[in-house]
Structures are given as C-alpha cells and as structure tokens.
Amino acid sequence: MVTMSRKFPEAYEGSICPSDIDARVCARVNFFNTFGHYETESSAWWVVWFCQNQGSWEPFSFKQIDSFYRANRGLGHFTLNRLVPDEFIILMDDGKYRVTEGFISACHRASPV
C-alpha cells in the first residue's frame, strides 16, 4: 500500500511520463497489491493506459475515459473504484479528473518500463 499525495503532476519533480509506466496487457498483473483492492488496481491500469494514449497526465472527463474503456473492450461502464475516495485521483471543480503525484508514483513503482 502506498501513501497518498495530493500534489499534481505539473508540480511533480520526478517527471514520470505515462510512457514510463508499463501498461501493456501482460503487465496488468504488476498493479496487483498496489492499491489494496483488485478492482481499484484494474482501474489504475486503465487510467495509465488512457493517459498513455492521450500522451500526458492532462485532466480528463468521465465521458473521455469511459469512451476509451468501452472502445477497448471494457465491460459495462468505467469506474474509478477507490482511486477517488483514496485521493489518488481528484475530481476537480470543472468536473474533470486529475491524477495525483501519489497515483503516478504508485503506478511507476508497481510497473516501470
């Protein structure tokens, strides 16, 4: 389990890019035990893969990630599970989601390229 950090990526001096995290389908198991909840770890993997496809950690709407999820064979609708309540991903006032430094660090520790 990792500790939470609400810092946002632009303030993150470690400068980990989405492409620095291995989010291949075969690497999905690397995320297990990272967030203490299987469904949350699966959601984290989807978020990283989505951010890799958009080329940045830019904020995203639920509609954007849900469309990506469904276009890539996700079942039903996307859910962030415990990533928001545990503050690894923050829902901003503009309705977009933003990953935190803690999220990026946890994913990179679990599955570096």
Q: Quickly list DSSP for the chain.
A: --------GGG-TT---GGGB---GGGGGGGTTSSSSHHHHHHHHHHHHHHHHHTS---B-HHHHHHHHHHTT--SS---GGGTTTTSEEE-TTS-EEE-HHHHHHHHHHSB-
The pLDDT of residue 8: 57
The pLDDT > 90 percentage for the chain reads: 73
On the question of pLDDT at 51 being above 90, the answer is: yes
Whole-model pTM?
Answer: 0.87
pLDDT in tens, 73-97: 888 899 999 999 999 999 999 999 9
Average pLDDT, the chain: 88
Confidence of residue 7 (pLDDT cuts 50, 70, 90): low
On the question of pLDDT at 11 being above 50, the answer is: no
On the question of pLDDT at 4 being above 50, the answer is: no
